[in-house]
Amino acid sequence: MILPLFPLRSALLLAPCVLVGCASISGARDALAIGAVQGHADRSALVGEAVMVRGVVSAVRDGGWFLQDAGDGDEGTSDAIFVQDATATVRPGDAVLVRGTVAELASGRATRTSLVQAKVERTGHGEVAALPLASAPTDWERLEGMRVRLDGAVFLADSGDLGKRGRVQVSLDERLWQPTERHAPGSDGYRSAVDANARRTLWLDAAHADWPQGLAQARSGSRIGGAVGVVDETNDGVALHLDTAPTLDPVERPAAPTVPGALRVAALNLENLFNGDGRGGGFPTTRGARTPQELAAQLAKHVAIIDGLDADVVALMELENDGYGADSSIAALVGALNADGGRWRFVDAKQGPGDNPIRVGLVYRADRVRTLGAPRTLEGGPFGEHSRVPLAQAFAPIKGDARRQGFVVVANHFKSKGCKDAEGPDRDRHDGASCYDATRTESAQQLHAWLASDPTGYGARTLIVGDLNAYAQESPVRTLREAGWKDAFAVAGVHAPYSYVYDGQLGRLDHALLSPGFAARLRGAAEWHVNADEPDASGYRAGGAGPWRSSDHDPLVLGFDP
């Protein structure tokens, strides 16, 4: 709610008229309140009419400046207006009298109520007090062009535009969630969540203010304080043009998670682990590292994460599909894991699986678990060109009883949400699921039917794990839950899990689904938020040290009784 403090909306102090006399523009006493020009609708009812207003300049932008008056006592109207003036000589703090024609100028996704063909007369100096906002307003339109101060909780959502456009995305009141993480696509709950996210999302633009030190290295979820500026509309939504430097309270990086249970299984999206020709050449790769040095840094980050998870089996996504020889990417990863004497091995599917440029894979600690039988894959239908071919392998503890303690890990990577070449039912239905939802749903159906046939012979205790490219309430994940698969994080009682941050919104693309027999042995589940909240500056391409931002997805780890 906007704090209903009328004195603050009226705290605009004017010095006596100077320079040219106040009455120089004919009829100066007939000046309208800016709120009367703005009105209660998205567009002014006075478009095309000549009006006169007075106020104080609050901010100067390209092509004009913002003017704010003392207010008309109506909280449903904005007390500010944009004056189109490409050759402006005014400065913030100038008190002016303006005559111009009311217009609605295109501004981002909306229009900006403005005065054009303006005649301007400076009358003195003044001050525009910032309106305090304790939380996100119900309607940004009634604050159009006004100077405000964000007094409520402000969270850094995305800093990816900081170096490109000098702005960051923030969320007001709390962090944002992907609507389909919590609501079925297209449902009333989904639409309400979309509207709430739009209302609580804001861009901070510091063209006329300094950013706090360390902002480029801050994690999503860090707190921003003292943000003061003018409300405006951009192509990407509402923005606040800052006029004072905000403060930063960075959130701490989390330690590697620990989960109970003597048996641990993890999953990790590698974000395109490609190793060139495997002999130091072949760079830049088609995806991933551009130089041998970048590959070394990328491998070091993956090793740090896998070591930190302390898992016995790790499912991998976005691994180069280049075989299983000594020069393959999976061999390079296992070699790096074993550099300090580890006993890691990879599951060799002989070819593929599939012929997609990237594939899934499985690695395991040979001193803790052993494989049972040959790996199995599911090809055809949606798998291959679109969804990556699933890879299933049965394991057992190194000294365990295979029939009593055997379990199956199935690595998966469903088709992405990108819309290239999407046709028919795979096109975006604009319900939040994006493109290829039909292909992902078919992938889930065929995966379930395949596993129901027990391809490994140890299917009573099975884990479906990986990047399903679908949030928790979208059809592919619901299809598997409705078929009897158990969400490991729900079984473990984990509150609000997330593995991915897109457009400043949190959600799970990476899932762990258990057969009832394996769910009974689950003792804990955790995500390590080592990646999704980290800025690009932490990644291997930018020289970031440690495990941080090894990928754009967070890894997960599950603990079981054997």
Write the CB contacts of 280 (distance below 8 Å, at least 6 apart in sequence). 292
Average pLDDT, the chain: 94
Phi first, then psi: give them for residue 281, nearest 5 degrees: -115, -170
pLDDT of residue 15: 40
pLDDT of residue 5: 34
Instruction: Tell me, rounded to whole angstroms, the distance of Cα 146 from its chain centroid.
Output: 28
Per residue in 209-266, pLDDT tens? 999 999 999 999 999 999 999 999 988 999 999 999 999 999 999 999 999 999 999 9
Per residue in 278-295, pLDDT tens? 999 999 999 999 999 999
**What gap in Å lies between CA 383 and CA 389, rounded to an integer?**
5
> Per-residue pLDDT averaged across 339-363, rounded?
96
Write the CB contacts of 485 (distance below 8 Å, at least 6 apart in sequence). 448, 464, 513, 514, 515
Is pLDDT above 80 for 362?
A: yes
The CATH code belonging to domain 6-129 is 2.40.50.140
Whole-model pTM: value is 0.93
C-beta of residue 526 within 8 angstroms of C-beta of residue 556: yes
pLDDT of residue 143: 97
What six digits make up the tokens of 217?
């290295």
Specify which residues 239 forms β-bridges with: 203, 232
Write the CB contacts of 99 (distance below 8 Å, at least 6 apart in sequence). 25, 50, 51, 52, 118, 119
pLDDT of residue 30: 81
Residue 165: CB atoms within 10 A of its CB come to 13
C-beta of residue 454 within 8 angstroms of C-beta of residue 462: no
Q: Which helix (H) or strand (E) holds 264?
A: strand 263-273
Is pLDDT above 70 for 9?
A: no
Specify which residues 501 forms β-bridges with: 506
> Per-residue pLDDT averaged across 122-151, rounded?
97
> Per-residue pLDDT averaged across 330-341, rounded?
97
C-beta of residue 355 within 8 angstroms of C-beta of residue 400: no
C-beta of residue 562 within 8 angstroms of C-beta of residue 280: no
pLDDT of residue 27: 55
> Per-residue pLDDT averaged across 176-180, rounded?
98
Q: Where in the chain is the domain with CATH 3.60.10.10?
A: 263-560
Per residue in 86-134, pLDDT tens? 887 899 999 999 999 999 999 888 889 999 999 999 999 999 999 999 9
If you write DSSP's letter for every residue of 422-447 in order, what string do you get?
A: --GGGS--SSSS-TTHHHHHHHHHHH
pLDDT of residue 28: 57
Torsion, Cα 331 334 335 339, to 10 degrees, reads: 180
153-249: in CATH 1.20.120: no
pLDDT band at 473; cut points 50, 70, 90: very high
Is pLDDT above 50 for 34?
A: yes
What six digits make up the tokens of 437?
């939802």
pLDDT of residue 400: 87
C-beta of residue 533 within 8 angstroms of C-beta of residue 548: no
pLDDT of residue 25: 56
Is pLDDT above 90 for 171?
A: yes
Is pLDDT above 70 for 313?
A: yes
**What gap in Å lies between CA 360 and CA 392, rounded to an integer?**
10
Is pLDDT above 50 for 155?
A: yes
Per residue in 258-272, pLDDT tens? 999 999 999 999 999
Helix axes 292-309, 329-337, angle to 10 degrees: 60
Superfamily grouping for domain 263-560:
Endonuclease/exonuclease/phosphatase (3.60.10.10)
